[in-house]
Structure formats: structure tokens, C-alpha cells
Structure 1
Amino acid sequence: MANNRWDSDVVIAGGGLAGATLALALARMVPALRVTVVEAFPLSPDALPEDYQPSYDARSTALAWGSRLIFEELGLWPQLAAHATPIRHIHVSDRGRFGATRLHAEEHQQDALGYVADNRWMGLCLMRALSNTAVSWRAPAAVVHMEPLVNGVRVDLEHNGEPQSLTARCLVVADGGRSGLREKLGFVARTRDYGQNALIANVTTSDSHQFTAYERFTDAGPMALLPHGSPEKPGHQSALVWTLDDRELERMLGLTEQQQCQALQQRFGWRLGRFTRMGQCHHYPLKLTTIDQPVRSGVALVGNAAHALHPVAGQGFNLALRGLMTLMEQFRLASLQHQSPGDMRVLAAYHRHHQQDWQQTVRFSDSLIRIFGAAPAPLAVARDAGLLGLDLVPGAKRWFARNAMGVGGRRPVVADHSSSESR
């Protein structure tokens, strides 16, 4: 519920995919709240979705089926679907061994198990939708400091090189884990370094992907190939996520494109035929980062600012999206009850409802790394039997599928946190 004492009800630090999605959710589900987004990159009025031309080297994100349901709820899915490649089959295997499991959308009476969408396309769709809302933007700008106030916060900015300040009832940090803002605010992150790197690139193969995502566990670490390109016809382009240690990463980056394709062929195999092209390579170190207490009075961390996962199961953004909807739901309830969105009871309820989901998702992703990392032969045989068991045992396969589809965690919960007697 708006209060003229404050410049804004909610300030969102970061206008990327997480911040923009939260802003849209609040605009459409809690319109009584005044929302301001602070984004480091300038906004281009010419960047409209209908002008979008897919690039071969576009970075992409795997969207679980549960994420589609969320975007449908926000009214954004019809736009996103125009360039979202469906994942209709998932093939999980262990290189050089017999273990494998296969998931098919038709087994779950759905069109797809998930989707692959270019990050830029999702950003354009979000910007277009937000342009028709009351959400205000400060860009290019960055939050440099925050000071607690009674029932709110003062947020200090640098906007176009000039210092500014906003008063708000709640600051939501959605600018990822690399900006340093969460550390400036005193949050302590727990980090586990996997000692590996993710190499990201788009590749072309001689055989069509047939809308199949491949998760391949090797002695050097996992790799994934996700169908990319047209949502209508099965094509030959896939998005690669390849786990490499420092030495192998340096070697790969020093190879020619043809040599990179040969190295990938040797590691992945021939399920997609010959690798004929490998696009621009991006890479980043792999770490598991969590914040035990991502909320305090007037402040909440979301997305990668609150938790960053290994990309092995493609769960990072999908987990973040569920958390954003949980936070939105608590803000909606607070607005109905004339509570401040920065009230610690409101933010504690968000953390409580989201915590089980992120703990379960972290365990699921982290266990895959531990089980399918380099291991002695007896454990390798056991995990192959486990993969084969997943393929044969309906209950186990459904559990695996629900986690892969992003519907294994808890859905946002409407909770009454106005008093101890409310439940």
C-alpha cells in the first residue's frame, strides 16, 4: 500500500532477468506498490521484441516447465514462446558406460519438459511488458550504499554519474553475486569452489537435435547440449555447457574452431553426428554460493545474489524465478494487510517459504556433481545402475523428472503473518 512519506515502496537493485521479472510481477499482481528499478546499463527505446533477430552466439537460459507456468501467470509466455525452443526429450548418460535414463514430455502429458530461450529475447520481452506499467527506472545507475531508517531504508545511488538518494520501504538486491553490493550491505556468503569452469558456446551438428537435451557425465565433469533455434522445426544448433578444469579450459581456448569441434566430439560422442561449428566461447568459474539469512529488516536478496548453483541441472534461474514469485506473494499479502513490504515478518515469511525449495534444489544439483564426478570403478558401476534404475522404475523417474522440470520444489504459499494466531 503506497505511502507518500517514501519515494518508493520497493527499490529493486538490478534490472536483469531476475529484477525485471520481479518488477513485472509486482506491477501486475501488486499494483498498489510503487516500484523503482535501478539498473547499471542504459535502456534503449529502440530495443523492441518485434525487431529481434536471433544471433548464432546468443547466450541462452534453460526454462523449466514450472517457469513456463510462472510466465503464463504473468501474461508473458505468449511473447516468450515465439523464440523458445522446446525440450521434448532429455537423455542422461555416463560416458563410456551402460547407464542411461530418458525422459519424454509425452509421458507427462505435456508439450515439453522445458524450453531454451535467448537471454536477450527474454530481456526484450520483459522490457516491452514493463514499458506499459507504472514501474520507474533509474538507468544507468547503481546502488552504492543503504542506510536503515525507521520502517524503511535510504538508498544512495550514482545515476548518470551524479549522486542521488531514494527512500523506500524495502530494497531488493537482484544484481547477481558479482557486484559486491550484498557484501557492502553486510551479508556473508558461503562458497564452495568446485575447482571447475563452465565453458558456454553454441554448436552445430550434422544430425538434428530432435528437441532433445543431452546431459552427459564424463570423467572430467558433466556437459550438457540443449536444443536451440526454431521452436517449430527440429534444427541442428545446440547450446553447450561444458565443465572443464583450469588446464583443460586454457587448452580449449587456445585451439582453432575445428580443433575445438574435434575435442568436443571425442568427449561427447556421436549421438548428434559430427560437430561442424562451434561459436564464440564464454566461461566462468563454478561455485556453489548460498546465503543462510538472505533477509533483514528492509532488505531482501534474490536470484544469484542469494544463491548460485552449478549449471549441471539447469536449475539456477528456475529456482530464482520461484523465489521471486514467493516474494511477490508475500508483498501482495502485506499490501492487503497494510503492512510494509520491508517488515521483517513479511521478509521472514518469504525466506521461510523459499528455503525448503532452494535447499532441495541445491541438494539435487550438488548430489549430481558428487555422484557423477570422477570416481572409483565400484561407485561408477553403482551410479550406472542408478541411471538404469531411473529409466526402469516409474516412481524414481517421476522424482527425477519433477526436479528437472522445476516442479519438485514448493510453490509460492499465501501465508498470514499478521499475528501468531493466524494459522
Structure 2
Amino acid sequence: MEDYRDIVIAGGGMVGISLALYLAEVLPAETRICLVEGYPFPAPLPGHKPDYHPAFDARSTALSYSSKLIYERLGIWDNLQQWLCPIASIHVSNRGHFGSTLLQAEDHGWPALGYVVENAWLGNSLVQALHRQGRVELISPARVVDARCADDGVRLSLEGDALAGLHTGLLVVADGAASGLRQKLGFAVSEKPYGQHALVANVAFAKPHAGCAFERFTEHGPVALLPLLGVSDARHRSGLVWTVSPSEGEQLMQCSEQDFLVALQERFGYRLGRMQHVGERHSYPLSLVKSTEQVRQGVVVMGNAAHALHPVAGQGYNLALRDVAELATVLATAVERGERPGDIAVLQRYEQRQQGDQQRTIEFSDRLPSLFMGGDPVLGLARDLALAGLDIAPALKRGFVNYAAGVAAMGD
């Protein structure tokens, strides 16, 4: 059929593009892969390399060691090198208690525990990799606004492109946590509101972070700081994710820069010296959103449309990339065997293989903040001993680091 594609990915964000690149890498050349995105894609650049320089207020993503391995497999890691800030260590502490631990990359023979990259550079690098590869069909700007499952595949209605409809054997829904397409298809969703907001901003400090990320738990919620590359007006820059109550979040969004820095300094402390500047502040409500059904005949839900996590452990995007790698591997094996990518038996194999990783990561991200917010003194002592024990017991610490870096999951 003229408008038939073997695989259509609805959503050209970082997860959708990563999946398109991976599928194009592992599936036979005759497999027709199409990516549909509502925003116009950047045009191919000379040499296919974005020209981007860090900006103080740029939003960033933390890539785990497992994500590095995936992007190395896709041949795009080298293009990211210039704008990566390696995480050499992670300092985990519980405010007002003795328990703390320092996780260091060198203790495990790794170049870094993870890497922080600005979203603008990562996103543009992925787009240029698609252009460079030239294998995936891009339909942009356009959106998949409706999908109807049939015996011979999935019929799609598009909006915003001359092509009004498509027929596909496999539809990948990757259009974000508030996925309209997931809702249209009737996939059940569970949502657990945390009753908290995440306040996100970049902060300039007096002292260099030396590649150290901080996870500081307080009775009001965690404060996370990720190391960023310096810019001309802020040599020592870190990305802040501060979990606060809705009322405190509203107050912190509206107060002066000076009052904000005073409040953050009191909550975090002086490990990086005095805070000098905070940039644009953004706030959003926190909840755990899960698609309780991720696969059906001809359809799979991916990325934030499948699971949107609490940001405290920075695992949402890294879990999504591991999903990408597993789905691509399962589909490649299936096609080799003569199976169709959209067959429910094939998609259930993917779901079963990723179920353990997803469950552990979601539970870890869900339970970690509440574990450190309880007022029970016995539980508090147990937390402190657990943190201190990570420094005392090398095997326990190594296992914790492997899990946080995502490499333990890749061995499942």
C-alpha cells in the first residue's frame, strides 16, 4: 500500500528520535520507519553538527553510564563530548543527621558516574544524527491525532501535513506524559500525586563543583544539584531541582533573587561556598504517572507516555533509553525470525524483559523521597546507618552505584 509504513513513531522528542536511530541501526534496510513530530525539525547543518554554546539558563539532562553505552552504540556520543559535564562523584546526605556517603567514579574504574548535557545540544545532536543517517522518514510539522486498530495494523489520522493518513504495522506512542494519543487509544493510566512541586533553576556558586553532584535530603523534601559546564558570566554553575510544598513553591517563585538564594543557602548549606546568582525559575507539580497497559496488538507506549517519574534520582530519561534499547533488540530478533514488529507476542516479550527494570526504577524513584522525610527517630537512625554503611561496606556501595548508573539493569 502506498501510505504503509512498518513502524510509525508518534513524537519526535529525545526518546522518539533515540528510538528511530536505534531501530534504523538494527532493523533490515527494507523496514520502513517513520517519525512524526508536531514541531518543525531543524534543517540539516553543514557537517551535521549543531553550533551551540552553553547559556546560563539552559535546561539539562543527566545521562547515566548506561545511557552513555547506548549512545556510543548509536555512534553519536562523540558529537556530544564537547558539551558534556562529567559527574565524577555524588554526595548523598541527610540534613541535620550524621549519615552521608560519597560515591566516586574512580572507585569503580569508570571515567564518570554519569554526564550532564544541555537539552538544546542533546536534542539538536540527535536531530542532526537523523539527518546524517538518512534512513528514517521525517514527517514534520505534523501530529498523529487519531489511531484505529484493525486486523491489518493501525490506521492513523495526521494533522498538519499534506499526508492526511498512514497505515502502519506498529505504532509507537512517544508524545509525552500528557499523551493525547494514549488517551485516544484508551490506554489505562494510574497517577499518584505527590502533593509537591519541583522548582528548577540554574545557580552560580563561589566555589567550583569539581564534577560533584549533590543529593541532599531534608525534612521538607530533597535538594539536588547537578554539575554544569561554566559560562562566561558564571564559571561555577549547577542545575537545581528543589522539591517543595505547593505553598513554598509559590513563595519561592515570586520572591526576589536575594530572598531565594538566602532560603536555598539555608536548605543546602555552604559546601560550594556562597550562592551568587540564580537564573530563571520554573515550577511544576510532581506525580508518578504510569500507563498500566504498555502494549497491545500493533501499539507500544514509550518514554514519559509510559512512565513519568519523580525527578529525585534523575532516572526517568535513562529508564526510557533502556526501554528503547530493549524494544529495538526484541524487534530486530523478531524480524530475523520472520515475525512482524506489531505482533502482540513480540511486544509482550519486550514488556516482560523490561518489566523488572521498570518496576525497580519506578519503586526506587517513588520511595526514596518519602524515606528521608519521615519523622520517626528509629527510621531516621536506620537511614543514617544505611548511608554511613555505604562508605563502610564496599560491596554494598558498588551495588548501589551500579544500580544508580543503570548498568545493573542492562545485565538483566
- TM-score band w.r.t. shorter chain: over 0.9
Deviates more, 1:65-74 or 1:162-171: 162-171
- Report if the CA contact (8 A) 2:201-2:239 is conserved: yes
2:21 maps to which residue? 24
Q: Does 1:362 align with 2:362?
A: yes
Give the Å deviation of 1:5: 6.8
The structure 2 residue matched to 1:11, chosen from 8, 13, 16, is 8
**CA–CA distance in 1 between the matches of 2:266 and 2:303?**
35
Write out per-residue CA displacement over residues 237-285 of structure 1, whole angstroms, 9 at most, x where no aligned residue. Answer: 0011100110000000111112111111010000010110111112211
Q: Which aligned pairs between 1:28-177 and structure 2 lie closer than 5 A? A: 28-30=25-27, 31-45=29-43, 49-132=49-132, 133-160=134-161, 164-177=164-177
Mark the CA change 1:73 to 1:264 in structure 2 (over 3 Å): closer, same or farther: same
**CA–CA distance in 2 between the matches of 1:283 and 1:163?**
38
Q: Provide runs of 4+ in structure 1 moved above 4 Å.
A: none
1:421 maps to which residue? none
SS at match of 1:167: strand
**CA–CA distance in 2 between the matches of 1:402 and 1:281?**
32
SS at match of 1:176: coil
Q: Does 1:309 align with 2:319?
A: no
Mark the CA change 1:235 to 1:384 in structure 2 (over 3 Å): closer, same or farther: farther
**CA–CA distance in 1 between the matches of 2:50 and 2:406?**
29
Write out per-residue CA displacement over residues 278-307 of structure 1, whole angstroms, 9 at most, x where no aligned residue. Answer: 111122111112223200000000111101
Write out per-residue CA displacement over residues 72-99 of structure 1, whole angstroms, 9 at most, x where no aligned residue. Answer: 0111110112211000011000011111
Gaps of 5+ in 2: none
**CA–CA distance in 2 between the matches of 1:227 and 1:394?**
25
Deviates more, 1:311-320 or 1:336-345: 336-345
SS at match of 1:378: helix
1:332 maps to which residue? 332
TM-score (norm 1): 0.92
Q: Which aligned pairs between 1:233-382 and structure 2 lie closer than 5 A? A: 235-382=235-382
- Report if the CA contact (8 A) 1:223-1:242 is conserved: yes
The alignment yields a C-alpha RMSD, in angstroms, of: 1.7
**CA–CA distance in 1 between the matches of 2:199 and 2:181?**
26
- Report if the CA contact (8 A) 2:252-2:260 is conserved: yes
- Report if the CA contact (8 A) 1:105-1:113 is conserved: yes
**CA–CA distance in 2 between the matches of 1:367 and 1:179?**
25
> Structure 1 counterpart of 2:40, which letter?
P
Deviates more, 1:311-320 or 1:386-395: 386-395
- Report if the CA contact (8 A) 2:261-2:277 is conserved: yes
Gaps of 5+ in 1: 413-423
Give the Å deviation of 1:219: 0.8
**CA–CA distance in 2 between the matches of 1:240 and 1:77?**
25
SS at match of 1:221: coil
> Structure 2 counterpart of 1:15, which letter?
G
Write out per-residue CA displacement over residues 293-337 of structure 1, whole angstroms, 9 at most, x where no aligned residue. Answer: 200000000111101111111100000000011111111112212
**CA–CA distance in 2 between the matches of 1:146 and 1:248?**
42
**CA–CA distance in 2 between the matches of 1:5 and 1:349?**
30
Q: Which aligned pairs between 1:155-234 and structure 2 lie closer than 5 A? A: 155-160=156-161, 164-229=164-229
Q: Percent identity?
A: 46
Give the Å deviation of 1:114: 0.3
- Report if the CA contact (8 A) 2:323-2:354 is conserved: yes
SS at match of 1:131: helix
SS at match of 1:304: helix
**CA–CA distance in 2 between the matches of 1:329 and 1:230?**
38
- Report if the CA contact (8 A) 1:85-1:230 is conserved: no
Deviates more, 1:383-392 or 1:12-21: 383-392
